[in-house]
């Protein structure tokens, strides 16, 4: 697989999100549940997401994942219970659009890490995955996920 990897400067992006710990096995259900809670709250506020939903990975320990699920929003909004207001930080990032099953995403991560090293950069923080469709709507082979990795 040869991916189109892009280098960009990212602006800060306000978000509403839920951060928690989970296992890889429990992650899909947790993501769906978190998105539903946040969308329900956005509807209460009369607001809409500003972009595709994301999951941020603070670590890659598959038995104790530290993850944040959320939606970019147009402006900073108030928090409610476990739903927190925050932002995706501005900075230099590399990104790629991956098409295919979530179970095969190790390959694009490896290619991106290799690109980062070959181009004299270092990973710098949290990896984000933006989901442009859902396994409930399309076959796994058609899933579109934008992977974003901050660098320095």
Write the pLDDT tens digit of every residue in 12-53. 999 999 999 999 999 999 999 999 999 999 999 999 999 999
**What range does the domain containing 38 cover?**
6-150
Mean pLDDT of 83-105: 96
- Is residue 66 included in any domain, yes or no? yes
Mean pLDDT of 80-96: 97
- Is residue 106 included in any domain, yes or no? yes
pLDDT at 109: 94
pLDDT at 60: 83
Could you tell me if 81 and 1 are in contact, meaning their C-beta atoms sit under 8 angstroms apart? Answer: no
Residue with tokens 């509403």: 16
Could you tell me if 16 and 42 are in contact, meaning their C-beta atoms sit under 8 angstroms apart? Answer: yes
pLDDT at 125: 86
- Is residue 146 included in any domain, yes or no? yes
- Is residue 30 included in any domain, yes or no? yes
The rounded radius of gyration (Å) of the Cα atoms in the chain is 15
* Predicted confidence band of residue 1 (pLDDT cuts 50, 70, 90): low
* Per-residue pLDDT at 148 exceeds 70: yes
How many domains, the chain?
Answer: 1
Q: How far apart are the first and last CA of the chain?
A: 25
CA of residue 84 relative to chain centroid, distance:
16
The CATH number covering residue 76 comes to 3.20.80.10
| Sequence-ordered strand ranges (E) for 42-138 | 54-57, 65-72, 84-88, 91-99, 127-131
Mean pLDDT of 84-100: 97
* Per-residue pLDDT at 62 exceeds 90: no
Mean pLDDT of 91-116: 95
Q: How is residue 4 written in tokens? A: 């189109």
- Is residue 94 included in any domain, yes or no? yes
* Per-residue pLDDT at 111 exceeds 80: yes
- Looking at 10-14, 103-107, 129-133, which range is the least confident one? 103-107
DSSP state at residue 11: P
Cα-flanking dihedrals φ and ψ of residue 76, to 5°? -65, 130
- Is residue 1 included in any domain, yes or no? no
Q: Which of 94, 37, 34, 46 has its CA nearest to residue 74?
A: 46
Residue with tokens 């980062």: 116
Tallying the residues shown for the chain, one arrives at: 152
Mean pLDDT of 129-149: 95
């Amino acid at each position: 697989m040869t991916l189109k990897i892009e280098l960009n400067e990212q602006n800060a992006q306000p978000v509403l999100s839920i951060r928690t710990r989970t296992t890889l096995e429990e992650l899909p259900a947790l993501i769906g549940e978190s998105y539903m809670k946040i969308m329900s709250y956005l509807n209460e506020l009369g607001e809409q997401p500003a972009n595709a939903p994301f999951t941020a990975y603070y670590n890659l320990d598959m038995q104790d994942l530290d993850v944040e699920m959320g939606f970019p929003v147009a402006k900073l909004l108030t928090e409610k219970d476990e739903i927190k207001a925050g932002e995706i930080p501005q900075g230099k990032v590399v990104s790629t659009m991956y098409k295919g099953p979530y179970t095969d995403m190790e390959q694009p991560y490896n290619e991106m890490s290799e690109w980062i090293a070959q181009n004299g950069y270092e990973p710098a923080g949290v990896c984000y995955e933006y989901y442009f469709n859902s396994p409930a709507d399309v076959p796994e082979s058609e899933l579109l996920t934008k992977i974003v990795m901050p660098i320095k």
